[in-house]
Amino acid sequence: MVKSENKRMFLALGVASLLLAVSDTGNAKVEGDTIVLGAAVSLTGKYSTNGKNTQDGYELVVKRINEMGGVKVGGKSYKLKVTYYDDESTPARGAQLAERLINQDGVQFLLGPYSSGLTKAIAPVTEKYKIPHVEGNGAARELFKQGYRYLFAVLSTSDYYLREAVNLAAEVAKSQGKDPSKLKIAMAFENDPFSQDVRDGVIEDAKRLGMKIVIDDKLPPELNDMSATLTKVKAVKPDLLVVSGHAKGATLTARQVKEMKVDVPMIATTHCDSAKLAQTMPAESEGLLCASQWDRQLSYKDKWFGSANDYANRFAQEFNYTPPYQAAESSAAVLVYVDAFTRAQSFDKDKVRDAIAATDLMTFYGPVKFDKTGMNTSKPMVLYQIQKGQYNVVAPSKFASSKLEYPRKLPK
Amino acid sequence: MKKTGRGDFSTMDSIQLLFQAPVLSVQLLLDGMLIGAIFALAAYGMALVWGVMNVINIAQGEFVMLGGYVAFFLYAAGIHPFFGIPLAAVVLFLFGWSLYKTIIFRVVDKDLFISILATFGLSILLQQLANELFGADVRTAESGFGTLMLFDGQVTVAEIKLVAFIAALVLGGLLLLFLKQSRLGQAIRATAQNARAARIMGIDTDRVYAATFGLNAAICGAAGALVSMTWIIHPYLGLPYTIRSFMIVIVAGLGNVAAVLAAGLGLGAAENFAGFIFGAEYQAAFVFGLLVVILMWRRFWLSRQRRYLK
Amino acid sequence: MTATVKRLLLYTVIVAVALAAPSIAPDYRTQMAFLWVMIVFALTWDILGGQMGYNSFGNILFFGVGMYVCAVIQRDSSLGYYPALFLGMGAGALAAVIFAAIFGSGILGLRGHYFAICTLGLGIAAGEFASGWDYIGAGSGMVTPIFPGEPGGREKFFYYVMFALAIITFPVLRWLYSGRFGLALNAIRDDEDKAEAMGIHTTRYKTTAWCISAFFLGLTGAVVGNMIGFIDPRDVAFAGPTFGVWMVLMAILGGKGTLWGPVLGAVVFHITQEVFWTYLLGWQRVALGLLIVLIVVFFPLGILGWARERWPERFGHVVEEKLDARATE
């Protein structure tokens, strides 16, 4: 009895000492001639593919900038470096890691994680510690309604993803002499923050144009079959079908619409490129409309990468795959920092924050200019249509490189 | 705050629609049964392992997932994924056998709860390993099968789903035949009835267990190959199959292959209707709620006879 | 030194170290706060799992309920931060207890693995339901209010709150187990039918035990929701595959059915996990799965159980050596 008590006491003390021993002194934010940025990205878990895209996007810019001589501040050239942690696609973990980056590793500049959920968890942390947080993968509109001063997003918010589809449907109706407000819309969304925001945007624009929403379903979260919804769709015969459910939603839509012979003249979805629809299912996905933040065919140019197409080539050379827009927007986030450091001529976080807020920059990804809430209001979303296995930009008409094929013909 | 809802389509509207257009019910029923057929496959295996070895395999869904990847890789290599069905069965059989020889044999004679926890750990291990090795991307294999049209195009049946249904029937039949006629099958049944007696009679129960576990994995693997052709696969697709196979076995009992098939088809249909009527977001809640209700009802019914679920 | 004095000394040392910890290692406050969360998880699971023999995979239900109820109160009440927080915590605990009472009456009638899987289903159904219900944010989840005060204040505050919760849970359980209640629970575990036959109202005890777990889990949920700041229905609140399973694992790792077992298990598990995260980047979940299999297969009795087998004298068992010799005669 005596000895077991001792054992427990020593164990408790041992644990405490272990904790103390493992504590780190942390790195300073600027190590010698390197500026250290920090990021929690999803290297494992359900977002691991896009998390890798994000990391690769960050790394490409780091490499490029360092190649080009680094960032010049106060007459000295500094290299860039990013410290990464794996948030496991879990918001709780992301928030913890943000704190670790700030408190233990002394990082003063954060790059965003992948997904709205994770960004939502990390934003309050960076706001609390007044650390600039520039992100390219958290598109939830809600993020920008919280009054955050340190959060900046280079991408268009999620509610913009499929508004173009609604507007396009209205345009087409008008061109055929029909009243856009008579259009019927059927929608199915996955039950996560991003997809629900996409839904909000669609509903807003539909309401504005007076259209009727006849089906508003959620995608079954774990099973991978949307036949119940599609059965309804067939019964109701809408003019536009909108689906958003990440890569799973895109794949299911393409396949099951064909299988069930759901004949809707216009079908729009998100994440076609993540799902590799045009490559793996060219016949089934023919005619589908896809939302995108960016496309290599767009005519943007900048001094670090050249055109969007040049960026895509450089990325493919480095990482052996074509960059999806998730990678491009991550790269843009780092460019914002580079530009801000250069303009602020300082690494003081508040000066940098103010410089970021004043950004007015053209990048290969598109124009970046932040409004008061931190959203990038100068970059439009695009809509492609999959035509013969290619993603062709069809909307907004200003940037369209191809003509819309309407109505969509059911694949055999 | 966002509004819930299905636009102009409430629950009542959905039900009305079913009455107005009875052909919709046919579609939902067919689709549901076809989905259920795949659950039935996973359930055959679960019943087998539970009945013979007294192990509840929580990693059941992961075997399905792995089978799916076998078919996918075959497809990616240019071979028609249909051949993935037998190949997945073979690969998973070997995998199941080795798992038994390394881990499962240690929990066979222990508490049932230990087997649940051990196979749960296994399921996490397999999921995460798959995620690391294959990536979290959703994948799909193109079977190239078409669609059958019934009732003048109003009801569509994806041929691949029909294939899955036929596979479930055939496999069920084969399983029954195997258990009744073949020596190994008889050995399995003997072991299930009384392991000790079987051992005394000269049956190598360890081999029987290994074969049973391997067989279970094989059936799940075949199911997985079908899943990859019908829908999509990804490392985390397993748990729903595990839960549903468990539910089916509880309703159908351990011994009756036909009952397992019927329960599987019924569950698939019920789920599909629930999704249509209540909305897909409640579909999963419906299924698990059903599990809770079934168990509570079972317990109530048994307690009236002063027995309890053992 | 007598046993009591030794025990008091041990407790004093632990409490002293725990109180000083946030100041000594401020960078690890959140991780340390989670250590107390894990301890409460393991202890509350063990009430049913270890002491009573009912393995629940659904305790996460109470955790999530507490979390959401507190967050809703914080969102909708017009009180200040602290009053809303404490009101929310209390309401969360109460709601959790009500759920335990309602579900308990039906589900606790199930035995063994049926109970286990039914509770698993319950936990998952709760998560699914929560992600469909707009009032609590549906799939988008909820955000808890920002902590008033300077940076670092939040971590410190919640660390102390969780620590307080943990050191209240422990003696409460100790007191419960030492009395009639503990004996009744153990009787149910050892042979429920006999216990029933002897006149113990098993249903009442079972439900009460679950309500007690629910109470502490509800409080914990409310606190953790505020610690993390963002409530996701499936990943945070009703996180079955993570928290829900760890509850079970930690208690088994340390040795279920004992008082210190779950605590030990929680400490070892939590530290191991943090180490895995830092050094096995990308493979930590795989390692976790492997760890679960190894623990369950090779150490089903847990650390304390294994220690008890190894050194039975230290646990107060007397081993009769002579008996062996006599048996061979």
And the tokens for A391? 């993603």
Q: What is the pLDDT of residue A154?
A: 94
Q: If you compute the radius of gyration of chain C from its CA atoms, what whole number of angstroms results?
A: 21
B105, B166 Cβ separation under 8 angstroms = no
**What pLDDT was estimated at residue B247?**
86
DSSP classification of residue C259: S
Establish if C5 touches chain B: CB-CB under 8 angstroms.
no
Nearest to B298 by CA among A368, A313, C114, A139: C114
Domain total of chain C: 1
| Cis preceding linkage at A407, omega within 30 | yes
Task: Say how many CB pairs under 8 Å bridge B and C.
Answer: 144
The pLDDT, as a whole number, for residue B99 is: 94
Window 126-155 of B, Cβ < 8 Å to C: 126-129, 131-132
Selecting from C28, C138, C230 the residue whose C-beta is nearest the C-beta of A196 gives C138
All residues of chain B having their beta carbon less than 8 Å from the beta carbon of residue A234 are 154
The domain locations on chain B are: 35-280
Over 90: is that where the pLDDT of C46 sits?
yes
Mean pLDDT of chain C: 86
Q: Hey, which chains touch B, using 3+ CB pairs under 8 Å?
A: A, C
Q: Could you identify the residue written with the tokens 């595959």?
A: C241
Task: Indicate whether C131 belongs to any domain.
Answer: yes
Residue C139 has pLDDT above 80, yes or no: no
Average pLDDT per 10 consecutive residues for chain A, totaling 412 residues: 51 47 41 89 85 95 94 91 90 85 90 90 89 92 87 91 91 90 92 84 93 87 78 90 90 89 93 84 90 85 91 94 91 95 92 94 93 89 89 81 86 78
Supply the pLDDT for residue B5: 43
CA distance C21 to C19: 6
User: Is the CB of C15 inside 8 Å of chain A's CB atoms?
Assistant: no
- Which superfamily does A30-156+298-369 belong to? Response regulator (3.40.50.2300)
| Model pLDDT, residue A1 | 44
Whether the Cβ atoms of residue B244 and residue B42 lie closer than 8 Å to each other: yes
Helix %, strand %, coil % of chain B (to 5): 75, 5, 20
* Across A52-61, B87-96, C47-56, least confident range: C47-56
Flag whether residue B291 sits within 8 Å of chain C, measured between CB atoms.
yes
Q: Note whether ipTM > 0.90 here.
A: no
Where do the structural domains in chain A lie, given as residue ranges? 30-156+298-369, 160-292+382-399
pLDDT in tens, A219-253: 876 767 888 888 889 888 999 999 998 888 898 89
Cα atoms in the Cβ-side hemisphere of radius 13 Å centred on A222: 24
Residue C24 forms contact with A (CB below 8 Å): yes
CA distances (Å), B223 to each of A108, A255, B284, in order?
51, 19, 21
Residue C20 located in a structural domain: no
Percent of chain C with pLDDT over 70: 93
Q: pLDDT per residue over B217-263, tens digit each?
A: 999 999 999 999 888 898 888 888 998 898 899 888 887 888 899 99
User: Least CB-CB distance to C55: which of B106, B113, B288?
Assistant: B113
**Most distant CA pair in chain B, distance:** 69
Residue B6, pLDDT score: 42
CB contact under 8 A, A1 and C316: yes
Residue C153 maps to a domain: yes
Contact between A235 and B24 (Cβ < 8 Å): yes
A38: helix, coil or strand? strand
In chain A, what residues touch B236 (CB-CB under 8 Å)?
Answer: 46
Report domain B35-280's class.
mainly alpha
The domain of C221 spans: 30-327
Domain assignment of residue C10, yes or no: no
User: Do A30-156+298-369 and A160-292+382-399 share a fold?
Assistant: yes
pLDDT of residue C316: 66
Fold of A160-292+382-399: Rossmann fold (3.40.50)
- Residues B12-57: tens digit of each pLDDT: 777 777 777 778 888 888 888 888 999 999 999 999 999 888 899 9
